[in-house]
Structure 1
Amino acid sequence: MTSANFPECLSITLQSEGGLSLERTDPGNWTGGRIGKGTLKGTKYGISAAAFPNLDIRNLTLDDVKPIYKAKYWDEIGGDALPPGFDLATFDYAVNSGPARALRDAQSVIGAPADGKPGPLTRAKAATAGTREIKALCARRLSFMHGLAIWKTYGKGWSARVAKIEAKAVAMYLRVQPGVDVKAALADEASKAEKTAGTLQKAGAAIAVSASGGAGTGAALPAEVNLLVLGGVMVLGLVVAGALVVKAVRAKERAKAYRSAEMAIGQ
């Protein structure tokens, strides 16, 4: 729990934040926070026109954005008082979706009142946050993002980013735990995610085949009703199968992120 973590957390977050983006379909690029509202100033180094409508986004430098990240995101989540790893997970979430939302989800995970303010009870509850809380926070973050209207456009990149942050945050937490073989622990996390992905993929495929085959439709029903029931069963089965496939993809991304974090140890 130290401000010394801020530079490392910022460096990791900035790896996911590119140069200038003027994508018109991104609400964050508009000063009004909605597509077509205000001026299209864009986003640079993660600093968006929606959040900072009065800044000259195009001409921002890294030296310009560091104090912004410190004051507007790190300090707003009480980053100095959060444990290593949990601070990264909360900070990166804050940069994407705002510090109040990120902190509320972090507070929910650790059992503190979800008021979006880094008070003494939040600091006390956060003191014991570890890998379980990091994973839970990342899952909440991804769930929130999945509900956004622009998920179809940005979802793939967001999902990969959250997986990467989870793995790096877990590695950050583990490396300060006495007697822990960080590389082995990350390898174990990757293996578990790979196994989960395989199980979900097989289950999804089996359900899809069953739904397409139309098993168990109730032959005693009138023909027209029977067809409706059959159609409903098929649709429901395919929806469930699709959801499992999505979860399998998410598990694969987590496995890939943990493998990458494992390989980075000792480099």
Structure 2
Amino acid sequence: MRDNLDECLTLIFGSEGGYVNHPKDPGGATKYGITAATLGAHRGLGRPATPNEVKALSLAEATRILEAQYARSIRFDDLPAGIDYAVLDFAVNSGPAQAAKTLQRALGVNPDGVIGERTIEAIMNRQQPTLINLYCDERLAFLKKLKTWSTFGKGWARRVAEVRAGAIKMSRGSSVLTPVTATGTAKALPADTKATATSGGKGSIMATIGVATTTVSATTDKLAPLAGAGNKLIDYAFTGLTVVGVLLSVAGIALVARSQLRALRSGAPV
């Protein structure tokens, strides 16, 4: 599903955000999901990139890295819509080999970390929404075993929930990215991604977006520990807020990141 790649990259860039260098993150300095080690290897530096080099990473170079080192590694073009997004997002978050092994375990095939013809065949013989749910369950179980879960767990759980909802929507033939209208809301973009105050009031939309997203995220965080405890009302509320969070997140991303990716394809400056 090559025509699905731009949408998936837009969503992943929105999830990863801009430059971060959390002291408890073993990946160190990261931008757009690209770690210092990955950037250094891509540039042939023979060493991890410095924090300043990571901070200066452009969206164009990040796109090339994700396509070459992640999308190609998981055979993105051969995966059905929805599965491609779920596996690529996991690959960027935890590495292509781990994403592939988790997929293979969900399918019941040999988890060698290399997506081959047997894995592809097994995927095609499964109901895609069912497989996406199983895959996201396996991904969440993997993340909960990491020693950094206590630090990053809430964010990871929210991300997996967003990917689950978005991937299932894709598998049913719908785009996750939706146009933003003058009354729409969206999530703030990475700090170095600029939006202009033109074209239907994008600037004013972006100014009000963070409030809505923060409110939804805070409420979801409060409900997360209670979800799955047998209270159907809370479970429905948690699921509903998660879906709302997806819509809030992707709408703003669509304002800029998608247009930048299209510009990259056409060779225009970004």
**Alignment partner of 1:175 out of 159, 173, 176:** 173
How has the CA–CA distance of structure 1 residues 123 and 198 changed in structure 2, closer, same or farther, with 3 Å as cutoff?
closer
How has the CA–CA distance of structure 1 residues 120 and 60 changed in structure 2, closer, same or farther, with 3 Å as cutoff?
same
Partners of 1:199 and 1:61 in 2: how far apart? 41
Residue number in structure 2 paired with 1:257? 242
Residue number in structure 1 paired with 2:202? none
Partners of 2:117 and 2:2 in 1: how far apart? 17
Q: Tell me, yes or no, if structure 1 residue 77 matches structure 2 residue 74.
A: yes
Residue number in structure 2 paired with 1:49? 36
Considering only CA atoms, is the larger Rg found in Structure 1 or Structure 2?
1
Q: Is the 8 A contact 1:104 1:114 kept in 2?
A: yes
Q: Tell me, yes or no, if structure 1 residue 200 matches structure 2 residue 200.
A: no
Which blocks of at least 5 consecutive residues in structure 2 are unaligned? 41-47, 175-222, 255-270
CA RMSD of aligned residues (A): 2.8
Partners of 2:31 and 2:228 in 1: how far apart? 40
Higher relative contact order (CA 8 A, sep 6+): 2
How has the CA–CA distance of structure 1 residues 72 and 9 changed in structure 2, closer, same or farther, with 3 Å as cutoff?
same
| Shift, 1:6, TM fit | 1.1
Which blocks of at least 5 consecutive residues in structure 1 are unaligned? 30-41, 177-193, 204-247
One-letter amino acid of the structure 1 residue matched with residue 241 of structure 2: K
| Shift, 1:117, TM fit | 0.8
| Shift, 1:143, TM fit | 0.8
Deviations, residues 129-148 of structure 1 (Å, cap 9, x unaligned):
40111011111111111111
**Alignment partner of 1:145 out of 143, 146, 151:** 143
| Shift, 1:124, TM fit | 1.3
| Shift, 1:150, TM fit | 1.1
How has the CA–CA distance of structure 1 residues 84 and 120 changed in structure 2, closer, same or farther, with 3 Å as cutoff?
same
Q: Is the 8 A contact 1:167 1:254 kept in 2?
A: no
Partners of 2:27 and 2:54 in 1: how far apart? 12
| Shift, 1:58, TM fit | 1.6
User: Which secondary structure does the structure 1 equivalent of 2:109 belong to?
Assistant: coil
Q: Tell me, yes or no, if structure 1 residue 9 matches structure 2 residue 12.
A: no
After the TM superposition, which residues 88-107 of structure 1 pair with which residues of structure 2 at under 5 Å, given as runs?
Answer: 88-107=85-104
Q: Normalised by the size of structure 1, how large is the TM-score? A: 0.64
| Shift, 1:261, TM fit | 5.5
How has the CA–CA distance of structure 1 residues 21 and 111 changed in structure 2, closer, same or farther, with 3 Å as cutoff?
same
After the TM superposition, which residues 156-171 of structure 1 pair with which residues of structure 2 at under 5 Å, given as runs?
Answer: 156-171=154-169
Residue number in structure 1 paired with 2:84? 87
Partners of 1:59 and 1:140 in 2: how far apart? 34
Q: Is the 8 A contact 1:164 1:257 kept in 2?
A: yes
> Number of paired residues?
189
